[in-house]
Amino acid sequence: NQHGFVPYKWPKPGAEEPVDKISYVVGISGWDWIVGSGVYIDNIDDIFAYQRNLSLLISFVVIIVISFVQKGLRKIWRRQLR
């Protein structure tokens, strides 16, 4: 059996021009079949951008929360040291 990734352009519903797509295909010898499945590259880019932005937002919120907690703890420690 032959198999591999195949990059190509394909019309995407809602798009005016064909867009980049990559598929993984498997050739089935004896039947002369090719079976495969693919994804549009722009969908992967969109998902990656969403995940990146979400991670940055969560990181920012965590940093802010840690800053406030640290500031509060610093006040408590200063009071105890007096």
Mean pLDDT of 26-38: 93
Question: What is the percent of the chain where pLDDT is above 90?
Answer: 77
Going 67 to 69 to 75 to 81, the CA torsion angle's sign is negative
For residues 15 and 22, give the distance between their C-alpha atoms in angstroms, rounded to a whole number: 17
First to last CA, the chain: 78
pLDDT tens by residue, 41-75: 999 999 999 999 999 999 999 999 999 999 988 88
- Confidence (pTM): 0.69
Strand partners, 27: 2, 34
Check if the beta carbon of residue 20 is closer than 8 Å to that of residue 7: yes
